[in-house]
């Protein structure tokens, strides 16, 4: 090796480049499992992924890595290298905080609980779920305690920090506290207003082939690069693969096309973020997407901000008529009404952008208290019913299937992720406010069918910045301020009142 | 670890199980690259595969492995473990025989030559090909010398041994020497006989969707397990993936369906071999397919022995009529004529089973002399022209495109593989002779549409035996004798005269 002024940093960078290459194979095999793999291949695939997972874990927890991080701090690094070192340090700390045995027990408990959930949810069997779920909660608390000890954060914050570095429950409490003051009244007003504006429901069936063509055309309209990605089908839609080759999935139902279409638009937001991460830094942690909330801010910028905009709807309408045949529901004004319809519902993933935060606030309050030990798993249904009644005015008593059993997150031990959805919606509103401030003619241009100013702004301010800055710094550089929930409120009031 | 009586063997087995898991990810990513990957993903994929390739190479060449092989020889192993140790030793020797630098130079030269070949072949540019090809030959000779030194084989045999362990050029000379005595006269007689039996050509177009349905139905007829495999599309058809999840590919041309169909039948033979390798030993070298010739004997058992059998054709005919619509060419007798038509052609991959060996004999003579240093690359065209004139009676002068440039094998440095195609055809004939000896009603049963006796015999005698025995021992146990070319001759004479 040629001697350099930054030998420790260079060794770290080489190790992370190797992990990036090996992680590529893991990502592709995971995507393939969800999208293409025949059922009998599962056992071998699971073993192959576990082998790679163990290998990557050994690489990430190598004690030599910790020493190199310490030495690299003394080296003459430039700003970008220093940002990369910050992210490497974060990754190394997260990987080494937990003993291998806890990681394994957690994975087994989550896998068992998730497997049980698949049948217990349709059976509405909350009591049956409690057994495997208690184990998941116990191990999550154990993990949270270890991470909290290392980081100095409180337990829930230590879990949330894995998805949203720098975010604390004190901040979430403030943001969501504000939200719960005005959201129920806003929902009331919007629902009352829309009651006088009936929607025309599209008439099906909507053949899968036509839906697939529609999805691909909308992805092109949204700038997805099909030379560096694909759209396939899986039971649970997601955006996988690697930045150089993004593998999006969706699922189709011939009775209605909106959920596949909106899901595809949502995942395209994730996909474009990944496709536009800075090529020159790929392989290094600084090249990764900033955080879960920033990622969701991209999918929601596409699915909510853009897809509910009259200018986008005007471009969507002829595509619908083209693939399905013309019908009254596809006229732009009617379509816009359909896409911005607000309904109080039980299911988070089906919720519109106005009611969605209510679902998140209920989950956040419950999971925070659960991890901090203030409540136990058996307390969840009563808290759920109370929260849903207060925020959405719906009765969820006894309906566990469409209540606390509806999401897979808790079964899998994914505590600390739910807030990111609504933080993402808030960030998305803030990005559009910043765009409008910078480009007063933005709505006129979108209205004329030109989406490029939106993509150009996101590329410059979010996508290509990756993890170069902390989240607060990213927000300041992009929009002049850290997260301010006023933009989200202003957006909802402007669009729906 | 619990102490056992075979600690060295157990460590070896654990290492190979790990390599099997990691190799799974390599195999899937390679298949994906050929079948699905969008073009811009190539650079990242190449880097990911190279990283894994280097990792597996380090694992295979670990000096500790060699010591464990030596110690394991002293341990109380059962027969299966001993067979596995034999294969592990072979693998370790093959991996350690070559210095890393040679492996890298060879890969670079092959990649450069293959890349040049893609444009030089259509341009019919033999002189241009000679430049990069000389480098490939020089490195192949270097490799052959090192492998020969280690194994005590002659140089060409040392290369062939990578694909066909135990086979020597002395044996191939004897087998092919016999063949070239009677093959040209047989071709003359068959062509003359068939001249009086005109074929009815099928009339297209043949839509891709219909061809795909046909391929899948024929694969089902041939027993392919779609719960443990898939059929997709790639530029060059192959059978990839892993035994637990076989990924076959084909390609379609709407102007004619026979090449996709016959290719699919061929790859299904490979695929069923892989799908029926012994599950209990998977991950160990003893569980791998025996050799290239034995693998080709399975694809050719399907594509030649079975697909040219009147009983199979009778089952195929209604499928064709069903997917494409009925037409005169699809009547069983006419279809059989079409599928057994013998034509003197220039292209190996398009050849029928009668003329195919002539293509192989020409290549074998040239590549053996090339590796042994008896000729130089510039001598190839004259030898090619002479061989093709002698064996097939065709004039190939000046036509390099459809002459020595037609195959990618030499450009990629794959010397020693060509004989395996014809050895495989000979083995396939020998398997069917053994089946007929064991089951005198075999042809009647196939004639009645029942293919199971064939599959049952292959499963019992070939597929589930994997690499438990040497190739000669496998042949003896399956058919009572080592490879005897008389069965191939008898098969051709019986079917075509």
Instruction: Give tens-digit pLDDT for A401-455.
Output: 999 999 999 999 999 999 999 999 999 999 999 999 999 999 999 999 999 999 9
In a shared domain, residues B88 and B209:
no
Beta carbons of B226 and A44 less than 8 Å apart? no
Could you tell me if residue A264 is inside a domain?
yes
Q: Is this structure's pTM higher than 0.90?
A: yes
Quick one: pLDDT at residue A235? 86
Average pLDDT estimate for B73-100: 94
Query: Do strands B245-250 and B239-242 pair parallel, antiparallel, or not at all (unpaired)?
Result: antiparallel
Which residue of B48, B52, B245 is in closest CB contact with A41?
Answer: B245
Cα B9 from Cα B25, distance rounded (Å):
25
- To the nearest whole number, what is the mean pLDDT of chain B? 96
CATH number of the domain at A372, please.
1.10.1370.30
Q: Which of A96, A123, A148 is the last residue of a domain?
A: A96
Work out the minimum CA distance from B455 to partner chain A, whole angstroms.
20
**In this predicted model, what pLDDT tens digit does every residue of B472-488 receive, in sequence order?**
999 999 999 999 999 99
Provide CB contacts within 8 A for A64, sequence distance 6+: none
- Confidence band of B107 (pLDDT split at 50, 70, 90): confident
- Confidence band of B213 (pLDDT split at 50, 70, 90): very high
Residues of B in contact with A38 (CB under 8 A): 226-230, 245
In a shared domain, residues B47 and B167:
no
In a shared domain, residues B300 and B395:
yes
In a shared domain, residues B442 and B496:
yes
For residue A1, pLDDT over 60 is answered with no
Residues of A in contact with B40 (CB under 8 A): 225, 227-228, 244-245
Quick one: pLDDT at residue A236? 85
Query: Do strands B245-250 and B229-233 pair parallel, antiparallel, or not at all (unpaired)?
Result: parallel
In a shared domain, residues B348 and B396:
yes
Please answer whether residues B381 and B403 qualify as being in contact, where contact means their C-beta atoms are separated by less than 8 angstroms: yes
Q: Which of A96, A128, A155 is the last residue of a domain?
A: A96
Q: Which of A35, A68, A96 is the last residue of a domain?
A: A96
In a shared domain, residues A357 and A450:
yes
**In this predicted model, what pLDDT tens digit does every residue of A100-119 receive, in sequence order?**
889 889 988 998 999 899 89
Domain count, chain B: 2
Instruction: Tell me whether A50 touches chain B (CB under 8 Å).
Output: yes
Which residue of A25, A26, A44 is in closest CB contact with B242?
Answer: A44
Beta carbons of A25 and B52 less than 8 Å apart? yes
**In this predicted model, what pLDDT tens digit does every residue of B278-302 receive, in sequence order?**
999 999 999 999 999 999 999 999 9
Quick one: pLDDT at residue A266? 96
Beta carbons of B25 and A52 less than 8 Å apart? yes
Q: What is the DSSP letter of B405?
A: T
Quick one: pLDDT at residue A2? 65
In a shared domain, residues A131 and A194:
yes
In a shared domain, residues A91 and A120:
no
For residue B2, pLDDT over 70 is answered with no
Beta carbons of B38 and A282 less than 8 Å apart? no
Could you tell me if residue A101 is inside a domain?
no
Could you tell me if residue B119 is inside a domain?
no
Cα B188 from Cα A20, distance rounded (Å):
60
Instruction: Tell me whether A326 touches chain B (CB under 8 Å).
Output: no
In a shared domain, residues B360 and B410:
yes
Average pLDDT estimate for B41-49: 93
How many beta-carbon contacts under 8 Å exist across A and B?
100
- Confidence band of A332 (pLDDT split at 50, 70, 90): very high
Q: Which domain holds residue A58?
A: 1-96
For residue A61, pLDDT over 90 is answered with yes
Could you tell me if residue B456 is inside a domain?
yes
Cα A127 from Cα B458, distance rounded (Å):
52
Positive or negative, the Cα torsion across A230, A236, A238, A241? Answer: negative
Could you tell me if residue A265 is inside a domain?
yes
Instruction: Tell me whether B56 touches chain A (CB under 8 Å).
Output: no
Could you tell me if residue B86 is inside a domain?
yes
Could you tell me if residue B120 is inside a domain?
no
In a shared domain, residues B306 and B413:
yes
Q: What is the DSSP letter of A331?
A: S
Cis peptide before A332 (omega within 30 of 0): no
Quick one: pLDDT at residue B236? 85
Average pLDDT estimate for A131-156: 96
A197 is catalytic: no
Residues of A in contact with B18 (CB under 8 A): 51
Instruction: Tell me whether B26 touches chain A (CB under 8 Å).
Output: yes
Please answer whether residues B197 and B215 qualify as being in contact, where contact means their C-beta atoms are separated by less than 8 angstroms: no
Instruction: Tell me whether A33 touches chain B (CB under 8 Å).
Output: no
Instruction: Give rounded-to-5 percent helix, strand, coil for chain A.
Output: 70, 5, 30
Could you tell me if residue A109 is inside a domain?
no
In a shared domain, residues A60 and A125:
no
In a shared domain, residues A230 and A178:
yes
Residues of B in contact with A44 (CB under 8 A): 24, 242, 244-245, 282
Which residue of B37, B40, B227 is in closest CB contact with A40?
Answer: B227
Annotated catalytic residue within B143, B267, B353, B367: B267
For residue A3, pLDDT over 80 is answered with no
**In this predicted model, what pLDDT tens digit does every residue of A240-288 receive, in sequence order?**
999 999 999 999 999 999 999 999 999 999 999 999 999 999 999 999 9
Residue positions counted in chain B: 497
**In this predicted model, what pLDDT tens digit does every residue of B131-185 receive, in sequence order?**
999 999 999 999 999 999 989 999 999 999 999 999 999 999 999 999 999 999 9
For residue B33, pLDDT over 60 is answered with yes
């Amino acid at each position: 090796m040629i001697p350099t002024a930054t030998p420790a940093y260079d060794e770290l960078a080489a190790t992370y480049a190797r992990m990036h290459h090996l992680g590529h194979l893991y990502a592709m095999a995971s995507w393939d499992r969800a999208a293409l793999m025949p059922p009998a291949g599962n056992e071998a695939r699971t073993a192959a992924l576990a082998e790679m997972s163990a290998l990557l874990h050994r690489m990430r927890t190598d004690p030599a890595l910790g020493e190199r991080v310490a030495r690299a701090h003394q080296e003459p690094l430039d700003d970008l290298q220093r940002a990369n070192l910050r992210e490497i340090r974060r990754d190394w700390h997260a990987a080494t905080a937990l003993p291998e045995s806890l990681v394994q027990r957690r994975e087994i408990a989550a896998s068992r609980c998730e497997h049980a959930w698949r049948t217990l949810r349709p059976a509405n069997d909350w009591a049956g779920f409690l057994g495997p779920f208690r184990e998941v909660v116990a191990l999550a608390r154990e993990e949270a305690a270890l991470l909290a000890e290392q980081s100095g954060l409180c337990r829930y914050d230590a879990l949330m920090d894995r998805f949203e570095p720098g975010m604390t429950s004190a901040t979430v409490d403030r943001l969501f506290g504000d939200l719960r003051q005005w959201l129920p009244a806003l929902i009331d007003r919007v629902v009352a207003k829309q009651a006088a504006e009936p929607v025309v429901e599209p008439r099906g069936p909507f053949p899968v082939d036509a839906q697939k063509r529609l999805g691909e055309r909308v992805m092109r309209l949204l700038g997805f690069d099909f030379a560096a990605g694909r759209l396939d089908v899986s039971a649970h839609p997601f955006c996988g693969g690697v930045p150089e080759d993004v593998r999006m999935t969706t699922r189709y139902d011939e009775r209605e096309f909106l959920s596949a279409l909106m899901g595809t638009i949502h995942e395209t937001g994730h996909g474009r973020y990944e496709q536009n991460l800075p090529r020159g830094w790929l392989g290094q942690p600084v090249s990764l997407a900033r955080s879960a909330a920033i990622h969701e801010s991209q999918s929601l910028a596409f699915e909510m901000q853009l897809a509910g905009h009259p200018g986008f709807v005007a471009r969507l309408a002829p595509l619908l008529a083209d693939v399905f045949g013309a019908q009254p529901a596809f006229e732009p004004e009617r379509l816009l009404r359909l896409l911005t319809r607000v309904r109080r519902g039980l299911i988070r993933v089906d919720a519109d952008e106005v009611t969605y935060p209510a679902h998140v606030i209920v989950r956040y309050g419950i999971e925070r208290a659960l991890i901090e030990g203030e409540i136990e798993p058996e307390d969840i249904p009563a808290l759920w019913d109370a929260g849903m009644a207060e925020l959405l005015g719906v009765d969820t008593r006894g309906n566990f299937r469409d209540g606390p059993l509806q999401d897979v997150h808790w079964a899998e031990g994914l505590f600390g992720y739910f807030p990111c959805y609504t933080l993402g919606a808030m960030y998305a509103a803030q990005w559009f406010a910043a765009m409008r401030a910078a480009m007063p003619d933005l709505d006129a241009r979108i209205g004329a069918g030109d989406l490029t100013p939106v993509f150009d702004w996101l590329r410059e301010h979010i996508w290509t910045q990756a993890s170069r800055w902390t989240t607060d710094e990213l927000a300041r550089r992009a929009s002049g301020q850290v997260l301010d929930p006023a933009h989200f409120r202003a957006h909802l009031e402007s669009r729906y009142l």
